[in-house]
Amino acid sequence: MTGDYFAVWTKLGERWGWRVVPLGLLFWVVLWPVGTVWLLVTALQRYLALDRSSEARTERRVARLLSLYPGDWRARYGDELAELLREAIRDGRGGPGLTINVVRESAATHTSILGRRGVVAVACCSLAWLPIAQGFVPLAIKLTHGTSRAWFLALYLPSAYQWPVIAAMIAVATLMLAVAVRATVVCNRRRQSFEISEPWS
Amino acid sequence: MENELGALGRYAGPATLIMSSLAGGPKHGYALINDIEAFAGQRLRPGTLYGALARLEQGGLIEGLEADGRRRPYRLTESGAGALQAQLASQRHVADVGLRRLSDGLATS
């Protein structure tokens, strides 16, 4: 068995399935210094083993750029775009402008496939942890009569405002999660209809 | 039909160039880039080209043909030809008005 961190965990995942998740958590909680050194050694090994020929570098860059696009889109246009990217790099047109162009266009592709609702769903999912933390943690601190205020807004307010702010944070968090779930459902429906119709299938 | 290309927003420019190139016959990505550079003096970047191609194909304005290795040629559909004609006529009208006003302005100054 190779000592590569990712290879080891992938093999364990294949053998033990979901049980590898608690095992991984336990490993990082108990043996995090070992994990950190192991990760650094793996990164160094991978860096030293890299093929540094210009063709290999081009292939790695093309693969990185293509990975920015959604899977469905890549399945349809990936080979053609990869060929053009290789030609652009070979012709000396592979400067940072090429990367910026692909990053911008791939983002636009994600947005057009997700639609406005998808963007809302992603934004709500990404930001909902803020009101969740600002609502439930001060709630727990208040209920247990804790004294720590940390970075929880409600606990810095006069006591008359603390419960309303906690309630408002929980309400905002619930609303954001509800919007995210609703938008995800609509988005999945839209995505399925996209996949059924050519040319995205 | 007039709004089909306009609805592509910032892709309307690359889309018009791509469809004008395809009006001369089917082409794959690399040939499109070279042809557009030859007749418009503008070299589309790969990301822009494929962003526009995907939107045009999704809108039924162009269609992909059988792939030749890793290269797939595209051709204009009937509705694409109509949309291109409407777009070019609209651009010609704008160009005519602009040029006429410019020459009128130069004549009076």
Q: Does B1 touch chain A (CB under 8 A)?
A: no
Which of B48, B58, B72 lies nearest to residue A80, judging by beta carbons? B72
Instruction: Tell me what pLDDT residue A99 has.
Output: 95
Torsion-angle region of residue B26: left (phi > 0), alpha (psi -120 to 50) or beta?
beta
Q: Is B57 within 8 Å of A199 when comparing Cβ atoms?
A: yes
Task: From chain B, pick out residues whose CB is under 8 angstroms from the CB of A73.
Answer: 54
Interface of A with B in 107-146 (CB under 8 A): 108-109, 112
pLDDT interval class at B93 (50, 70, 90): very high
| Secondary structure letter of residue B97 according to DSSP | H
pLDDT band at A2 (very low <50, low <70, confident <90, very high): low
* Per-residue pLDDT at A29 exceeds 90: no
The pLDDT of residue A200 is 44
CATH assignment of B3-108, among 3.30.1050.10, 1.10.10.10, 3.40.30.10, 1.10.3720.10: 1.10.10.10
Listing DSSP states for A15-62 in one string gives HHGGGHHHHHHHHHHHSHHHHHHHHHHHHHHHHHH---SHHHHHHHHH
Q: What is the pLDDT of residues A45-96, one digit of tens each?
A: 999 988 888 889 999 999 999 999 988 889 989 999 999 999 999 888 888 9
Statement: residue A196 has pLDDT above 90: no
- The reported pTM is 0.68
Q: Is A106 on the interface with B (CB under 8 A)?
A: yes
> In this model, does residue B7 exceed pLDDT 70?
no
A39 within a domain of the structure (yes/no)? yes
pLDDT of the residue at A184:
78
- Per-residue model confidence (pLDDT) at position B36: 95
Look up the domain containing A15 and give its range: 1-49
